[in-house]
Amino acid sequence: MLNFDFYNPTRILFGKGKVAEINQHVPADARVLVLMGGNSAKTNGTLAEVKAALASRYVEEFSGIEPNPSYETLMQAVAQIKANKLDYLLAVGGGSVIDGTKFVAAAVYAEGDAWQILTTHGANVKKALPYGTVLTLPATGSEMNDGAVITREAEKAKLFFTSEKVFPQFSVLDPTKSYTLPTRQLANGVVDAYTHVMEQYLTYPVGAKVQDRFAEGLLQTLIETGPQLLENPNDYELQANLMWTATLALNGLIGAGVPSDWATHMIGHEVTALHGLDHAQTLAIILPTMLSLRRESKRAKLLQYAERVWNIREGSEEQRIEAAITKTRDFFESMQVKTRLSAYQITKEDIPALLAQLEKHGMVKLGEHGDVTLDISRTVLETSI
């Protein structure tokens, strides 16, 4: 097992009715900004519940944070906070709203150009406003981690930052809040969480037995729960299992003491920035190809994955690896998420621009061995068509 430093201060308030407990965790004299996406939090009643829980506190709203939240929109929230002296944030939404809130929390204190938070990947964040979240879409794990991904529309740049200063103080995980999710977003959540586990599990063995078995349990839970949820989105037990699985997939626990990959995510971010695909749609395309092309360096873990997650025990090593990758692709397709670039009319002619963006963003030595060069990324993209 590798050395690690595991820190996670986020309180989780899990279950039906837990929104009311916000009242105990936001300072009584806080001047609160509630941040939201489009309309979902208003139309499904979550906003009303949140406002009731905030009781007599001074509350303002900021809505319009888009999927793949943009710097341009978020800076408007920063201006509102400064103008009205707000001092506590509450994100109500999915990963985009929570990520956007993380950026806003740090940008309020940024010296100079706030975009540098992204270009330094968070290294320059010294302080951030405190905030909590009410999660409405299980997927990203943003509700219990210190990372965020922000897009600068003007530059078509989608970059991440991490900083200990932007862990949420608390997150409400009420599984009934995701009953209203469109099928596409529910399926996206399953694929995103699955890929988060794979980025941290499917590398090379370091003898981290419990991290491996924890990761395998999360994957199996997603394989079992995902298709059932497509049929029964209002099933509390299913939603509860997805929500907690997605949180555990990226709250640092399974990534402690093991190598991690993240090449699929970094290439996926460029596909979203240039072509507008949902985050999970990019992952469903890139991950199977990535595993297939890097099967030599991932061989031991691919065999373990085949046996323990998919129960594949027959055939040669090559056949078992091939079968496990096919199962992965079929699982994503069974969740109604396409696994080819051509499904979104992206062709070979689009690949040079994607590679140029990867180069511009320094994404030239990706993966657990730093050996995913631009040449490999090109092959991955070409093979993903």
Which residue ranges make up the site for Zn ion (CB under 5 A)? 192
What is the rounded CA–CA span in Å between residue 83 and residue 137?
31
Query: For residues 50 and 337, which CB has a smaller minimum distance to Zn ion in the complex?
Result: 337
CB of 38: closest distance to ligand NZQ in angstroms?
A: 3
CB of 50: closest distance to Zn ion in angstroms?
A: 25
Q: Please select the residue that binds ligand NZQ; options are 39, 76, 120, 342, rule is CB under 6 A.
A: 39
Q: Which residues are CB-contacts of 213 (< 8 A; sequence separation ≥ 6)?
A: none
CA-to-CA dists, residue 149 to 130, 161, 202, 348, 384, angstroms:
19, 7, 23, 27, 23
The pattern of x and - marking residues 133 through 162 that bind ligand NZQ according to CB under 6 A reads ---xx-xxxx--x-xxx-------------
Query: For residues 192 and 270, which CB has a smaller minimum distance to Zn ion in the complex?
Result: 192
Q: Are 190 and 107 in contact (CB under 8 A)?
A: no
Query: For residues 180 and 228, which CB has a smaller minimum distance to ligand NZQ in the complex?
Result: 180
Helix (H, G, I), strand (E, B) or coil at 150: strand
Q: How many residues bind ligand NZQ (CB under 6 A)?
A: 34
Q: Please select the residue that binds ligand NZQ; options are 18, 57, 279, 327, rule is CB under 6 A.
A: 279
Q: Is 188 in the site for ligand NZQ (CB under 6 A)?
A: yes
Segment 259 to 278, residues that bind ligand NZQ, using CB under 6 A = 265
What is the rounded CA–CA span in Å between residue 84 and residue 87?
9
DSSP code per residue over 289-353:
HHHHHTTTTTHHHHHHHHHHTT---SS-HHHHHHHHHHHHHHHHHHTT----GGGGT--GGGHHH
Segment 77 to 116, residues that bind ligand NZQ, using CB under 6 A = 93-97, 99
Q: Is the dihedral of CA 103, 105, 108, 111 positive or negative?
A: negative
Q: Is 282 in the site for ligand NZQ (CB under 6 A)?
A: no
Segment 58 to 77, residues that bind ligand NZQ, using CB under 6 A = 67-68
Helix (H, G, I), strand (E, B) or coil at 260: coil
* Residue number, nearest CB to Zn ion: 192
Q: Are 25 and 170 in contact (CB under 8 A)?
A: yes
- Parallel, antiparallel, or unpaired for β 88-93 and 131-135? parallel
Q: Is 132 in the site for ligand NZQ (CB under 6 A)?
A: no
DSSP class of residue 176 equals: G
Query: For residues 99 and 192, which CB has a smaller minimum distance to Zn ion in the complex?
Result: 192
Residues found near ligand NZQ in the complex (CB under 6 A):
37-41, 44, 67-68, 93-97, 99, 136-137, 139-142, 145, 147-149, 177-178, 180-181, 185, 188, 192, 250, 265, 279
